[in-house]
């Protein structure tokens, strides 16, 4: 008999041991998020347990003993009502402040982040490093370096999710979203698509490879293609004929793009917008929505002629023009 | 086998009296009835059927997920299964469940009226529900839908090759069924209360129905127009929601969730109303903090319209919008907490018995507490980032919808079954089933909290092998839960023919509905009662009728 | 029994779930108002979406608006306002005990005005738009003279057809209700004591009118008509 119980317990123990409780924590924010998560778990288990225990206790203590029981006639108790309104209120307020400040901190990438670009499309991830290497469903990053991912979709809404880093963001067609992380441990971690996107949604998964800085540098320079995103973008810029209007000295029919990135631009509609990835992308795919005061609306749209990856390469090129100008001027 | 409290004299068999069930015979007397009680039974049959459809989908899903590479289906088929499960369970089971069955039956009786304000409109509501359900069943048979019950664009508007339009129209049509039911309840509760029945003497079930009806009226039209726009977009490719032709996919999400968040309160508020009735009857005490529970129902209904953005925290919406929706989502948790504490306090110094309805009610309180508290993880911005789109969400809402709403529904059906059918059922089997359901439920969904936290996304037809153990546990629980749901089907149906006759008030409960014979006559009351006391006035009588 | 005695004293049209005629009238009125609230939410979702797209594409909406024939929209507005007047007069006649033919006269006048509204819309506006290739999803042609916002003009027309179409559907339902009311009046069902269906239908008719009062400027009067506006 004890043998059966023993093997039964062994079985349960093996099963329980096979159940992980906490996912790998491999980023700078993972521990903070987990602290909040476990605090909430404790609160949940405490109150659920307390309610269940109270119910059990009352069920037994006040069980019906006869049909002639005279239960107490209690209408209520204002003090208790206030207590159990205010105390949960305070708990909620504390959690809200804690969670929101953590969220705020986690939403702002450090200024010196390395930027990597992500394009989701049914049903794979394209990742592009600015130095040139392109990956599919894999992301190689160095450890202890803040990484900013700028992301868009070619088709439907996807979601880039790395559980080990505790980061997730939807990836939308027609606009850019971004997240950042800093990996703290080398290793291999899941990438999942976190927003249902059709037939092979569950196959749209991959791996993040976090490497030591030396390994990463080696990986970056290895491989056949060494052209940076900006260089690819430049070739595309010329091939598509952008350079015929956007002449760098400003003598073309379109504005010069040297040094425009990051600066505010006043549009014909009167509003002022910063020249960022979003504006540049919009100018390429829907130029008539970004009209400038001193230029006629003659730029053709390139929507349908280039994909999101190529848009990002052009964006990278335009970004690099500013850097070159500043370098030239500082010489 | 335990018995209910038996009345002193053996009541007459239901067939020896004229009541609403035998007042007329034949299919036309049912299909053209305007009696709210018969309409409630028409709904009961229809939603039970839809529950089976949605339940079969769930069973197939859980069986498939026993293996990491999927045991049974192609991913495309799995995607259709979870979509159908969601659409059928939300729109065709949970939303109508308690309001259209127990609400339709009990609202007039609890307030001392002969019927709802607009009986023909009530019948029309049922027919509209049936038409919507037929559209959806057609869609299932004609190939299914694979967009998820949330229909996110542009996948649903421009990419899915499935019966999106048929289902969108089905849900659109059924929405009008809810709107008319809500309208009927609001007018009935305002205008047809018996003399002496002031607002603060109403049973809390009525307050819950009223609050739910507010949401029906204000929220459902918005989902109707949203799904109509989606169908139009799919048909004509106009570009309302598809960014490739100038539309905004997030606009769809805002419009969709503006209804669908309040909808989840449509699904839980009636259950909370049932629990108030059960806890008081089976502890033979008035509810603790009546006005707090009543006002909490109204507060939940109002605040529910202000929190929809918490479904969109990771869509790239502004951080400030996130903050506002987060704080409001915490706020909406407070009235629910107040109710849980009040129900628990009602047990204090009561005289508690453990028949099946009470077991369901007590299970509800615990499971709803857990489900509600896990909502805090999701209202918290920092943790929601990690948990959104994972099985944690699935577990959270199933704790509330299944551990909460369905348990309350079953508790209510068991409680009012003698009134509705005039028959008693076996309480032993009922308690056994309640226990099986409780165990099966927890085994199904607790592992899903863990799966979600570990990172397993939802709506995955295949998954990494490290998640298998928890998935198998969940599937094992689901089989137990499925069996648990089938048991009541058997003994309740059996009781309709062979169960001993119930008297007017087998539970010795307070409430106008218990002052009529079981089953009640078509006109409910021979004379409209005059109400002179508060609800749940258990302390001042041994269960006799009030005059 | 008390009930039976009361029953024979109730006027025709009394429904037995109620205890008193007053209660029935109050319930009917409240029911219609609640229904109108749901209609506000229904149209409201549409208006909200319209607002968002108009603020995103102001030029396209203005171009589209100018392509509409404002004279027909204005005529229709006058037609509807008159129909609300005749409807109110019909109810007033019932209330003050006027003859059946007076009531029927006003009801039929309302129906004629409603039908005129539909007729003007169908023939002078929608058919005309069809001929001009302005129906999205069916035969829409983007004209070069619209310039750079041209690609968004179909969106305006989408809202135009959907919003006025939904409104017209409500009008048609209203005319059907008026037909039923006319028949009921002819059969002598109404009197100065019992005219609740007229009153409730009147509420519905006025609501449909008010929706049009909002639609007209939002669709037909964008950007002014005479000389102002961006081009």
Q: Which of A221, A247, A280 is the last residue of a domain?
A: A221
Owning domain of residue B162: 33-540
Q: How far is CA A254 from CA A272, A282, A285, A323, in A?
A: 19, 16, 16, 20
Using the 8-state DSSP alphabet, how is residue B244 labeled? G
Give the predicted TM-score (pTM) of the model. 0.91
| Dist CA B268 CA B266 (whole Å) | 6
Q: Please report whether residue A99 resides in a domain.
A: no
Task: Please give, rounded to a whole number of angstroms, the shortest distance from the CA of A45 to a CA of chain B.
Answer: 8
DSSP chain C: -HHHHHHHHSPTT--TT-SSHHHHHHHHHHHHHHHHHHHHHHHHHHHHHHHHHHHH-HHHHHHHHHHS-HHHHHHHHHHHHHHHHHHHHHHHHHHTT--HHHHHHHHHHHHHHHHHHHHIIIIIIIIHHHHTT--TTTT----GGGGGGGGGHHHHHHHHHHHHHHHHHHHHHHHHHHHHHHHHHHTT---SS--HHHHHHHHHHHHHHHHHHHHHHHHH-TT-SSS-S--
One domain for residues A159 and A214: yes
pLDDT (0 to 100) of residue B11: 66
Is there a single domain that holds both residue A278 and residue A190?
Answer: no
The chains in contact with chain C, meaning 3 or more Cβ pairs closer than 8 Å, are: A, B
Please tell me the predicted confidence (pLDDT) of residue A288.
79
Q: Which residues of A touch C149 (CB under 8 A)?
A: 288
| Confidence at residue A222, expressed as pLDDT on a 0 to 100 scale | 76
- The pair of three-digit structure tokens given for residue C47, joined into one six-digit string: 């208006």
Query: Inter-chain contact A291–C149, Cβ cutoff 8 Å?
Result: no
Residue A176 lies in a domain: yes
Q: Where are the alpha helices (DSSP H) in chain A?
A: 2-17, 30-61, 78-107, 213-221, 229-239, 242-245, 277-285, 308-330
Q: Which residues of C touch A297 (CB under 8 A)?
A: 147-148
- Neighboring chain C residues of B219 at a CB cutoff of 8 Å: 41
> Residue B390 in 3-state DSSP?
strand
Q: Are strands A264-266 and A167-171 parallel, antiparallel or unpaired?
A: unpaired
CA atoms of B10 and B500, how far apart (whole Å): 9
The pLDDT of residue A132 is above 90 = no
> Taking CB atoms and an 8 Å limit, are B159 and A21 in contact across chains?
no
Q: Given A23, A164, A170, which is nearest B316 (Cβ)?
A: A170
**Beta carbons of A297 and C147 less than 8 Å apart:** yes
A198 shares its domain with A268? no
Q: Is it the case that residue A131 has pLDDT exceeding 90?
A: no
- Asked if the Cβ–Cβ distance from C147 to A291 is below 8 Å, we say no
User: What is the count of structural domains for chain B?
Assistant: 1
- Three-state SS at A327: helix
Position B544 scores a pLDDT of 42
Domain assignment present for B417: yes
Q: How far lies B417's CA from each of A217, B106, B111, B410, in Å?
A: 73, 12, 19, 10
Q: How far is CA B22 from CA A331, B29, B525, C184, in A?
A: 100, 10, 17, 34
Using CA coordinates, name the residue in chain B closest to A37. B383
Record the tokens describing residue B233, joined without a space: 């977009």
Residue pair B220/B178 in contact (Cβ under 8 Å)? The answer is yes
Domain boundaries, chain C: 36-220
CATH number for the domain spanning A303: value is: 1.10.760.10
Interface of A with C in 233-292 (CB under 8 A): 288, 291
Q: Which residues in C lie closer than 8 A to residue B186 (C-beta atoms)?
A: 30, 34
Helix axes C21-56, B249-283, angle to 10 degrees: 150
Q: What is the rounded distance in angstroms from the CA atom of residue B116 to the CA atom of residue B105?
A: 9
**Integer Cα distance of B374 and A197 in angstroms:** 26
* CA–CA separation, C118 and C167 (whole Å): 10
| pLDDT reading at C51 higher than 90 | yes
Tell whether A251 and A300 lie within a shared domain.
Answer: yes
**Which residues is A151 bridged to in the sheet?**
A118, A177
In terms of pLDDT, which residue wins out, A17 or C223? C223
Whether the Cβ atoms of residue A172 and residue A119 lie closer than 8 Å to each other: no
Hey, which chains touch A, using 3+ CB pairs under 8 Å?
B, C
Q: Which of B117, B190, B240 sits opposite C49 (nearest CB)?
A: B240
Nearest residue to B107 (alpha-carbon basis) of B189, B196, B25: B189
Q: The domain that contains B116 carries what CATH number?
A: 1.20.210.10
pLDDT in single tens digits along all 547 residues of chain B: 444 454 455 666 666 788 999 888 999 999 999 999 999 999 999 999 999 999 999 999 999 999 999 999 999 999 999 999 999 999 999 999 999 999 999 999 999 999 999 999 999 999 999 999 999 999 999 999 999 999 999 999 999 999 999 999 999 999 999 999 999 999 999 999 999 999 999 999 999 999 999 999 999 999 999 999 999 899 888 888 988 888 899 999 999 999 999 999 999 999 999 999 999 999 999 999 999 999 999 999 999 999 999 999 999 999 999 999 999 999 999 999 999 999 999 999 999 999 999 999 999 999 999 999 999 999 999 999 999 999 999 999 999 999 999 999 999 999 999 999 999 999 999 999 999 999 999 999 999 999 999 999 999 999 999 999 999 999 999 999 999 999 999 999 999 999 999 999 999 999 999 999 989 999 999 899 999 999 999 887 644 443 3
Q: What is the pLDDT of residue B464?
A: 96
Nearest CA distance, C57 vs chain A (angstrom): 9
Residue A59, in any domain of the structure = no
Residue C148, min C-alpha distance to chain A (Å) = 5
Residue B146 phi/psi, 5-degree rounding, is: -130, 35
Q: Give the CA-trace dihedral at B261, B266, B271, B277, to 10 degrees.
A: 130
Q: Where are the alpha helices (DSSP H) in B381-467?
A: 381-387, 391-400, 407-421, 427-454
Q: Which tokens is B447 given?
A: 């592992």
CB pairs under 8 A between A and B: 277
- Count Cβ atoms below 10 Å from residue A176 Cβ, excluding itself: 21
Reported as a single tens digit per residue, the pLDDT across C100-137 is 999 999 999 999 999 999 999 999 999 999 999 999 88
- My answer on whether A139 and A175 are in the same domain is yes
Strands A146-153 and A114-121: parallel
Cβ count near B530 (within 10 Å) = 12
**d(CA B60, nearest CA chain C) in Å:** 37
* Contact between residue B114 and residue B195 where contact means Cβ atoms under 8 Å apart: no
* In-domain check, residue A73: no
Nearest CA in chain C to B224: C42
Which of A221, A256, A291 marks a domain boundary?
A221
Task: Say how far apart CA A210 and CA A196 lie, in whole Å.
Answer: 27
The predicted pLDDT at position C79 comes to 96
What does the alpha-carbon distance between residue B386 and residue A34 come to, in Å, rounded to a whole number?
10
Q: State whether B160 and A172 contact (CB < 8 Å).
A: no
Distance CA B225, CA C2 (A): 48
Give a yes or no: residue A311 inside a domain.
Answer: yes
Residue C103 C-alpha, separation from nearest chain B C-alpha, in angstroms: 26
CATH 1.20.120.80 for the C36-220 domain, yes or no:
yes
Phi-psi region for residue B191, left (φ > 0), alpha (ψ -120 to 50) or beta?
A: alpha
Residue that the structure tokens 């127009």 belong to: B225
Residue A253, pLDDT > 50, answer: yes
Structural element, H or E, at residue B347? helix B319-347
Q: Under an 8 Å CB criterion, which residues of C touch B?
A: 1-3, 15-19, 23, 26-27, 30-31, 34-35, 37-39, 41-46, 48-49, 52-53, 56-57, 136-138, 151-152, 154-155, 158, 162
Structure tokens at C8: 């024979």
Tell me the CATH number at A150. Answer: 2.60.40.420
pLDDT digits (tens, 9 = 90+) for A272-313: 889 988 999 989 988 877 888 888 888 888 888 898 999 999
Q: Which domain holds residue A129?
A: 114-221
C31/B187 CB distance under 8 A: yes
In a domain, A309, yes or no: yes
Per DSSP, the three-state class of B350 is coil
Of C176, A136, C31, nearest to B190 by C-alpha is C31
Give the Cα separation of C88 and C198 in Å (integer): 9
Report the domain count for chain A. 2
Mean pLDDT, residues C171-179 taken together = 96
Residues A209 and A241 in one domain: no
Q: Can you say whether residue B526 is alpha, beta or left, with left for phi > 0 and alpha for psi between -120 and 50 degrees?
A: alpha
Domain identity same for A280 and A257:
yes
pLDDT at B541: 60
Tokens of A115: 């930027």
CA distance A121 to B115: 56
pLDDT grade, residue A328 (50/70/90)? low
C7 vs C20 pLDDT, higher one? C20
Contacts of A216 (CB under 8 A, 6+ apart): A140, A141, A142
Is the separation of the CB atoms in B212 and B269 below 8 Å? Answer: yes
Establish if A25 belongs to a structural domain.
no
**Nearest residue to B416 (alpha-carbon basis) of B14, B102, B49:** B102
pLDDT band at residue A249 using 50, 70 and 90 as cut-offs:
confident
Model pLDDT, residue B542: 47
Nearest to A166 among B148, B385, B457 (CB): B385
Query: Does the distance separating the beta carbons of A64 and B352 come in below 8 Å?
Result: yes
Give me the torsion for CA of B391, B392, B394, B398, rounded to 10°: 140
Asked if B331 and B303 touch (Cβ cutoff 8 Å), the reply is: yes
Q: Quote the CA–CA distance of C142 and C131 in Å, as a whole number.
A: 14
**Cβ atoms of residues B377 and B392 within 8 Å:** yes
Least Cα distance to B543 among B513, B499, B511 occurs for: B511
Residue A193 shares a structural domain with residue A287: no
Cβ burial of B453 (10 Å; 0-12, 13-18, 19+) is buried
- Within-domain flag for B11: no
* Angle, CA B533 vertex, CA B532 and CA B536 arms, to 5°: 150
């Amino acid at each position: 008999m004890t043998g059966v119980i023993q093997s039964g317990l062994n079985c349960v123990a093996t099963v329980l041991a096979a159940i992980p409780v906490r996912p790998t924590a491999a980023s700078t924010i993972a521990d903070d998020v987990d602290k909040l998560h476990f605090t909430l778990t404790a609160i949940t288990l405490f109150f659920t347990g307390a309610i269940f225990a109270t119910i059990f206790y009352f069920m037994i203590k006040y069980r019906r003993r006869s049909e002639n029981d005279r239960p107490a006639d209690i209408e209520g108790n204002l003090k208790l009502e206030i207590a159990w309104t205010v105390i949960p209120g305070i708990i909620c307020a504390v959690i809200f402040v804690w969670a929101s400040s953590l969220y705020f901190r986690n939403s702002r990438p450090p200024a010196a982040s390395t930027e990597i670009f992500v394009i989701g499309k049914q049903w794979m991830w394209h990742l592009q490093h600015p130095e040139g290497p392109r990956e599919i469903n894999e992301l190689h990053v160095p450890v202890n370096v803040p990484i900013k991912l700028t992301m868009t979709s070619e088709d439907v809404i996807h979601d880039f999710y790395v559980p080990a880093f505790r980061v997730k963001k939807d990836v939308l067609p027609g606009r850019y979203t971004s997240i950042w992380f800093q990996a703290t441990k080398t290793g291999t971690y899941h990438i999942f698509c976190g927003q249902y996107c059709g037939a092979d949604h569950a196959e749209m998964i991959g791996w993040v490879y976090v490497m030591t800085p030396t390994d990463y540098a080696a990986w970056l320079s290895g491989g056949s293609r060494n052209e940076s995103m900006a260089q690819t973008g430049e070739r595309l810029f010329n091939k598509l004929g952008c350079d015929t209007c956007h002449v760098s000295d400003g003598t073309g029919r379109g504005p010069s793009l040297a040094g425009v990135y990051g600066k505010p631009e006043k549009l014909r509609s009167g509003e002022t917008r910063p020249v960022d990835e979003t504006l540049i992308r919009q100018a390429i795919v829907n130029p008539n929505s970004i009209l400038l005061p001193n230029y006629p609306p003659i730029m053709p749209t390139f929507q349908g002629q280039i994909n999101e990856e190529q848009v990002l390469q052009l964006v990278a090129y335009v970004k690099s023009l500013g850097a070159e100008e500043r370098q030239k001027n500082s010489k | 086998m335990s018995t209910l409290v038996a009345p002193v004299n053996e009541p007459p068999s239901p067939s020896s009296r004229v009541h609403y069930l035998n007042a007329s015979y034949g299919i036309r007397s049912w299909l053209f009835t305007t009696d709210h009680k018969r309409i409630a039974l028409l709904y009961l049959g229809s939603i039970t059927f839809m529950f089976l459809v949605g339940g079969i989908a769930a069973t197939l899903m859980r069986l498939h997920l026993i293996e990491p590479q999927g045991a049974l289906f192609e991913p495309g088929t799995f995607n259709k299964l979870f979509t159908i499960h969601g659409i059928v369970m939300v729109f065709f089971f949970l939303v109508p469940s308690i309001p259209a069955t127990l609400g339709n039956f009990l609202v007039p009786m609890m307030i001392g009226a002969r019927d709802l304000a607009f009986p023909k409109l009530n019948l029309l509501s049922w027919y509209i529900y049936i038409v919507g359900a037929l559209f959806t069943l057609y869609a299932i048979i004609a190939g299914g839908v694979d967009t998820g019950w949330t229909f996110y664009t542009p996948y649903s508007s421009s990419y899915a090759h499935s019966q999106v339009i048929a289902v969108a129209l089905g849900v659109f049509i059924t929405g009008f069924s809810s709107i008319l039911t809500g309208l009927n309840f609001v007018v009935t509760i305002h205008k047809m209360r018996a003399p002496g029945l002031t607002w603060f003497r109403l049973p809390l079930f009525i307050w819950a129905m009223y609050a739910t009806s507010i949401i029906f009226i204000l929220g459902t039209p918005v989902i109707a127009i949203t799904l109509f726009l989606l169908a139009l977009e799919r048909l004509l490719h106009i570009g309302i929601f598809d960014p490739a032709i100038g539309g905004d996919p997030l606009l769809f999400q805002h419009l969709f969730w503006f209804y669908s968040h309040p909808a989840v309160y449509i699904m839980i508020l009636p259950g909370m109303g049932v629990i108030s009735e059960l806890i008081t009857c089976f502890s033979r005490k008035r509810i603790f903090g009546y006005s707090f529970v009543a006002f909490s129902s109204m507060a939940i209904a109002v605040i529910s319209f202000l929190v929809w953005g918490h479904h969109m925290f990771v869509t790239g919406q502004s951080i400030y919008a996130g903050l506002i929706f987060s704080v409001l989502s915490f706020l909406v948790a407070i009235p629910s907490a107040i109710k849980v504490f009040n129900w628990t306090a009602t047990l204090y110094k009561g005289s508690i018995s453990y028949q099946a309805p009470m077991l369901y009610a007590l299970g509800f309180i615990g499971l709803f507490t857990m489900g509600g508290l896990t909502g805090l993880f999701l209202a918290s911005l920092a943790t929601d980032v990690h948990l959104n789109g994972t099985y944690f969400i699935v577990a959270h809402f199933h704790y509330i919808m299944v551990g909460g709403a369905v348990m309350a529904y079953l508790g209510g059906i068991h409680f009012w079954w003698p009134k509705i059918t005039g028959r008693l059922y076996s309480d032993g089997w009922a308690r056994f089933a309640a226990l099986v359901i409780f165990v099966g439920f927890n085994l199904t969904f607790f592992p899903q909290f863990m799966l979600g936290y570990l990172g397993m996304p939802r709506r995955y037809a295949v998954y990494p092998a490290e998640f298998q153990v928890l998935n198998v546990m969940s599937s094992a629980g689901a089989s137990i839960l499925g069996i648990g749901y089938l048991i009541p089907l058997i003994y309740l149906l059996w009781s309709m023919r062979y169960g001993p006759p119930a008297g007017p008030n087998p539970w010795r409960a307070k409430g106008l509905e218990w002052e009529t014979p079981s089953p009640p006559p078509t006109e409910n009351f021979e004379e409209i009662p005059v109400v002179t006391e508060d609800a749940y006035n258990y302390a001042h009588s041994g269960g006799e009728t009030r005059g | 029994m008390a009930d039976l005695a009361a029953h024979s004293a109730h006027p025709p049209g009394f429904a037995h779930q109620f205890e008193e005629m007053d209660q029935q009238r109050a319930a009917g009125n409240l029911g219609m108002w609640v229904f109108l609230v749901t209609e506000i939410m229904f149209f409201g979702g549409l208006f909200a979406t319209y607002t968002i797209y108009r603020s995103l594409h102001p030029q396209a909406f203005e171009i589209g608006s100018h392509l509409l024939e404002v004279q027909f929209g204005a005529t229709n507005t006058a037609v509807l306002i008159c129909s609300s007047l005749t409807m109110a007069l019909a109810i007033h006649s019932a209330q003050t005990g006027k003859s059946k033919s007076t009531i029927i006269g006003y009801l039929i006048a309302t129906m004629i005005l409603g039908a005129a509204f539909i007729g003007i819309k169908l023939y002078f506006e929608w058919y005309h738009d069809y001929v001009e290739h302005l129906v999205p999803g069916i035969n829409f042609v983007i004209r070069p003279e619209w310039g750079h916002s041209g690609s968004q003009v179909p969106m305006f027309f989408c809202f135009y057809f959907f919003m006025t179409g939904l409104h017209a559907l409500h009008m048609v339902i209203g005319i059907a209700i008026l037909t039923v009311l006319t028949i009921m009046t002819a059969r002598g069902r109404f009197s100065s004591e019992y005219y609740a269906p007229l009153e409730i239908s009147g509420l519905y008719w006025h609501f449909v009118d008010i929706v049009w009062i909002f639609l007209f400027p939002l669709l037909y009067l964008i950007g002014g008509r005479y000389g102002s506006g961006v081009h």
